Chain A
Amino acid sequence: MRITIAVHGHFKSTSAVGNDEITFALPDADGLRVRDLLDALNIVEEEIRQVSYNGRPGRLDEAVRHRARLEFFPRERRR
């Protein structure tokens, strides 16, 4: 399956995704959820303010399907 991931805010410098929107070709995996990607993406769940799934608000326990487009928005960092 093919998924596209983009990150915003400080995730651009702290996650493994960086500035560029990245499309990945992954083996099909039933049961793969948004939350399962976080470790590989180096994104800490507690730092996520919002997930967008194909342009609408998504959930971390939502199944990731072919052609999913995920965007991660961080909470504001405390100074």
Chain B
Amino acid sequence: MATRFQTLDELVESLRARGVRDVRLTAKVATTTSPGGKQVTFRGRLRVSADLGDGEQAEYEEQVLRYVTETKAPELPVSSKVAPALRTAQAALAQQLQAYRGNYRAAMQAARSNLTARLKRVGVNVVEAED
């Protein structure tokens, strides 16, 4: 069962009480494209989770500032056999990724570093989610 904490301080307090020093940090980004396809909105979330033992989990989630960007859809080389809907989906994906790379990734990285630093200051080790 996961207990969700409203503030980082509350999470840290709970970890200390149980002698847990390691947490896992994961990031998620949701992107939405406007119907016209020009505007892309990014909403990021950082999740700190810890294993408290006995199958119990502790979680804290932080929102990263929403970002809206406008971008041109890139031209993609798509074969004539492929349906127009497929081309549209590919272009939308490429467009969202392009805007993400250009604008939001830096914001996510900064938020991640900030949260990691705050946790390290209070003696909590951050393990980035990896393979």
Confirm or deny: A68 has a beta carbon within 8 angstroms of a beta carbon on chain B. Answer: no
* Contact partners of A44 in chain B: CB under 8 A: none
B83, B93, B100, B112: which contacts A26 (Cβ < 8 A)? Answer: B93
A17, A21, A32: which contacts B97 (Cβ < 8 A)? Answer: A17
Q: A8-B130, A8-B131, A26-B92 are in contact. Are A21 and B86 (CB under 8 A)?
A: no
Q: Mark B89-131, 1 if CB is under 8 A from A, else 0.
A: 1101110111011000100110010000000000000001011
Are B100 and A30 neighbours in the complex by a CB distance under 8 Å?
no
Are A30 and B97 neighbours in the complex by a CB distance under 8 Å?
no
Are A23 and B29 neighbours in the complex by a CB distance under 8 Å?
yes
Chain A nearest CB from B40 CB (Å) reads 9
Chain B nearest CB from A47 CB (Å) reads 14
A18, A19, A20, A24: which contacts B93 (Cβ < 8 A)? Answer: A24
Are B105 and A18 neighbours in the complex by a CB distance under 8 Å?
yes
Confirm or deny: B32 has a beta carbon within 8 angstroms of a beta carbon on chain A. Answer: yes
Chain B nearest CB from A66 CB (Å) reads 12
Q: A17-B97, A29-B83, A31-B83 are in contact. Are A23 and B89 (CB under 8 A)?
A: no
Confirm or deny: B16 has a beta carbon within 8 angstroms of a beta carbon on chain A. Answer: no
Chain A nearest CB from B69 CB (Å) reads 14
Number of chain B interface residues as a range: 20 to 34
**A20 to chain B: closest residue by CB:** B27
B76, B109, B131: which contacts A39 (Cβ < 8 A)? Answer: B76
B27, B28, B97: which contacts A41 (Cβ < 8 A)? Answer: B97
Are B27 and A24 neighbours in the complex by a CB distance under 8 Å?
no
* Contact partners of A18 in chain B: CB under 8 A: 100-101, 105
Q: A20-B27, A22-B31, A73-B131 are in contact. Are A31 and B85 (CB under 8 A)?
A: yes
Cβ-closest 5 pairs across A and B: A29-B89, A40-B94, A29-B85, A20-B27, A23-B30
- A residues near B, CB below 8 A? 8-9, 16-32, 36-37, 39-41, 73
